[in-house]
Amino acid sequence: MEKLSKKTKLIITSVGVIAALAVGGSVYASNQSKQKLDEAQKVITTKTTGLTDLEVKINKLFDDKDNNFLAKNVTKDQVKTLREEFDRLSIGKQTEKVDLKEYNKEAGDTEKALKALEKKVDAQTAINQLFKQEKENAALNGSVVKKDLSIVDDLKKETVESTKKEYYKKDSKTAYDKAINDLIVNAENQVKQIETAKQAVSKIFKENKVISTDHKLYDTAKTETDKIKNAKAKKSLNDQLSKVKTDIEKKAEESKKQSEAKEAASADSMQQPQNGVTSPGTVEAAQEQVQTDQGAATTDYTGDGAATDTGGYVPQGGTDTGYQQPQYQAPPAEQAPQTPPTGGQSTPPGDNGGSNTIHLKPEDIQGSENNNHGGTNEWWGFE
């Protein structure tokens, strides 16, 4: 070494320093890499724990008795918040050789649960949008199902069909799918009922005017309209039916007046003679008068100088053996017996061949004529 030149010694010293620096740098780099790897692994562990906690939150939003249903009062905002939290727990692409086995498993399970939750909430929201919510009670709230709600105003048939295509499960046996199916069919039937009622009403009311007052068509339209649950649709059709009913009642009133006028005219014509022939009304009046007169003629009077009342006419010295006494006809109940003049007596009918029946035509009846040989009582009758 003593014999080496200064220049050579300088070179050797430089090489040694470089070698020492190289070894030291390598050790330092190794230490730095290990520290960075440890820090990356800690992040993965933390996020894995976060996913585990998130999965617990997700599962709490399902019904604790039947996890096919959601818990009550779950909202889309809640689910949105959980989705945002899941996205923050994502690690993206990793360059470090960290252990991702536990993380990947937890991330898969959590995302599966989150997607199931999102699908349930979307289905529940879509179903509830078909129906009116009354007093904060939705058609489907968790496992609580309301089947008596009205559909929303102006619900389109296409909207129901789209919902049915997305969520109706024909062959499913779960309580959840059955509830979904029933509500979809309910909405579908309500839309059909409104259409049926509209068609029935259109047969009597169209283009803002009454086109028929047929009572049967009105009753059918009214019956179909009454089956509608939606208040707005029902009121619209009932307003139209009200106009039809008004016209029906007007027509019925006019018909009644015409019928009454016709009956009155007919009654008047029955009271007037036509072409010299006594009308039925006149004949009845004449017969009634005859019966009254007959009752008076056959009444026996008792008292001074009068014949004994035997219930019939008592002849006064007549010798005609062919004469037959007329049968007694009691006067009408409301007619009081008449008192004859003092000393008077009933005058028997004259001899007319042994018969006490007088043949008269209705038109020959006159209350003032004396028949039967000048008798004072009138003996009338009809054959």
Q: Domain check: are 168 and 237 in the same one?
A: yes
Has residue 58 been placed in a domain?
yes
Residue 310 confidence (pLDDT) above 80: no
Q: What is the predicted pLDDT for the residue at 96? A: 64
* Structure letter (DSSP) for residue 359: -
The whole-angstrom separation of Cα 126 and Cα 165 is 12
Mean pLDDT of the chain: 77
Measured between alpha carbons, how far is 364 from 281 in angstroms, rounded to an integer? 16
- Residue 189 within any structural domain of the chain: yes
Domain-embedded: residue 333: no
- Of 268 and 341, the structure prediction assigns the larger pLDDT to 268
CA distance readout (Å), 109 to 51, 59, 92: 9, 11, 17
- Residue 157, domain extent: 147-247
Spatial distance between the Cα atoms of 319 and 323, rounded to a whole number of angstroms: 9
Q: Which whole number is the average pLDDT over 316-335? A: 49
Say whether both 56 and 119 belong to one domain. Answer: yes
Model confidence at 172, pLDDT cuts 50, 70, 90, reads confident
Split at pLDDT 50, 70, 90, the class of 273 is low
Same domain for 51 and 112:
yes
How many domains does the chain contain in total? Answer: 2
Measuring CA to CA, how many Å separate 14 from each of 5, 18, 34, 379? 14, 6, 31, 179
Question: What does the pLDDT read at residue 291?
Answer: 55
Question: Within a domain: residue 97?
Answer: yes
In a domain, 273, yes or no: no
pLDDT at 156: 97
| Same domain, yes or no: 164 and 95 | no
CA of residue 124 relative to chain centroid, distance: 28
199-229, pLDDT tens digit by residue?
999 999 999 999 999 999 999 999 999 999 9
Are 163 and 203 contained in the same domain? yes
- Of the residues 228, 247, 266, which one is the last residue of a structural domain? 247
> 216 vs 380, which has greater pLDDT?
216
Q: Do 56 and 99 belong to one domain?
A: yes
The answer to whether residues 61 and 74 touch, using CB atoms and an 8 Å cutoff, is: yes
CB 329 within 8 A of CB 298: yes
pLDDT, position 265: 87
Q: Residue 199 corresponds to which amino acid?
A: Q
Task: Write out pLDDT tens, residues 38-83.
Answer: 888 899 999 999 999 999 999 999 999 999 999 999 999 999 999 9
Domain endpoint, select from 209, 227, 247: 247
Same domain for 159 and 120? Answer: no
Tell me how far the alpha carbon of residue 139 is from its chain's centroid: 20
Q: What's the pLDDT score for residue 18? A: 62
DSSP letter for 363, please.
Answer: G
If one compares 75 and 34, the residue with the highest pLDDT of the two is 75
DSSP string, 185-207: HHHHHHHHHHHHHHHHHHTTEET
The SS3 call for residue 250 is helix
Comparing C-alpha atoms, which of 168, 46, 56 is closest to residue 117?
A: 56
**pLDDT digits over 98-119, tens only?**
889 999 999 999 999 999 999 9
Note whether residue 269 is domain-resident: no
The answer on 161 and 117 residing in a single domain is no
Q: Of 2-6, 138-142, 296-300, give the lowest mean pLDDT range.
A: 296-300
Closest CA to 367 of 288, 300, 268, 255: 288
| Co-location of 97 and 151 in the same domain | no
| H or E stretch covering 140 | strand 140-141
**pLDDT score at 317:** 46
Among 247, 270, 301, give the residue marking a domain's end.
247
Tokens found for residue 220: 């059918």
- Mind spelling out the 3-state secondary structure of 61-116? CECCCCCCCECCCCCHHHHHHHHHHHHHCCCCCCCCCCCCHHHHHHHHHHHHHHHH
Residues 112 and 156 in one domain: no
- pTM over 0.85? The answer is no
- pLDDT tens across 116-153, in order? 999 999 999 999 999 998 777 899 999 999 999 999 99
Judge whether 149 and 193 are in contact, CB under 8 Å: no
In angstroms, rounded to a whole number, what is the distance separating the alpha carbons of residues 112 and 327? 116
Q: Determine, yes or no, domain membership for 281.
A: no
Residues 157 and 213 placed together within one structural domain of the fold: yes
Report yes or no on 10 lying in a domain.
Answer: no
b/e per residue, 58-94, with b = 16+ CB within 10 A?
beebbbeeeebbbeeebeeeebeebbebbeebeeeee
More confident residue, 271 or 280: 271
Residue with tokens 């019956």: 223
3-state class (DSSP) for residue 29:
helix
Of the listed ranges 134-148, 226-240, 245-259, 287-301, the least confidently predicted one is 287-301
Answer for the pair 211, 204: CB distance below 8 angstroms, yes or no. Answer: yes
In this structure, the answer to whether residues 156 and 65 fall within a common structural domain is: no
